[in-house]
């Protein structure tokens, strides 16, 4: 069997967060197709766990859905920044808590069919109160939930964010055996 071969990649539009590309690809059967691709610099997310074992979630507006969502804190990786540093920065900025211990949890690709965004997810423990430091376009409220409460919200469809589901369920499997 022959392999896939990318012949050409055309930048259609470069936005602030993502680039939109048109890829021309030769298939194993010799046919040529055009596929859409969204390139992203990557993101980091973090499951912040309080001393009482509750998980802090951020409630914020998401333009893509035109609605409020409940999510673990996350943000885009800045140029030259490592995922770990991004996660540490985001947990404090969004929740107002500084992480004492931060450990890697899992990496995910959010929309593998058309986007290369990789999200590195961490867990934060030994949280100490600090203060939120939100971007000028962020308005975030934070809430604490037990794992069982979050799982119920996942199963009922109230929480549907992929990084939150992956992060919380991986945290439970790894740390709450």
Residues marked as catalytic: 136
What are the residues whose beta carbons fall under 8 Å from the beta carbon of 11, sequence distance 6 or more?
19, 20, 21
Q: Is 80 exposed, middle or buried (0-12, 13-18, 19+ CB in 10 A)?
A: exposed
d(CA 87, CA 105): 12
**For the range 8-12, what are the long-range contacts, defined as Cβ-Cβ under 8 Å and sequence gap of 24 or more?**
9/37
d(CA 141, CA 130): 15
- Give phi and psi for 147, each to the nearest 5: -60, -40
């Amino acid at each position: 069997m022959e392999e896939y071969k990318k012949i050409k990649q055309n930048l259609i539009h470069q936005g602030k967060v993502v680039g939109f590309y048109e890829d021309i690809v030769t298939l194993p059967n010799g046919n040529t197709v055009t596929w859409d691709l969204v390139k992203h610099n990557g993101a980091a997310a973090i499951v912040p766990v309080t001393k009482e074992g509750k998980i802090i979630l951020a409630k914020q507006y998401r333009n893509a859905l035109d609605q409020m969502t409940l999510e673990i804190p996350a943000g885009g990786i800045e140029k030259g920044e490592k995922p770990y540093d991004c996660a540490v920065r985001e947990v404090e900025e969004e929740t107002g808590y500084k992480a004492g211990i931060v450990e890697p949890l899992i990496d995910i690709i959010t929309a593998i069919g058309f986007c290369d965004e990789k999200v590195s997810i961490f867990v934060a423990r030994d949280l100490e109160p600090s203060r939120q430091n939100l971007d000028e376009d962020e308005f975030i409220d934070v809430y604490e939930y037990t794992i069982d409460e979050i799982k119920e919200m996942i199963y009922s469809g109230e929480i549907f964010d992929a990084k939150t589901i992956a992060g919380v369920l991986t945290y439970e499997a790894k740390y709450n055996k």
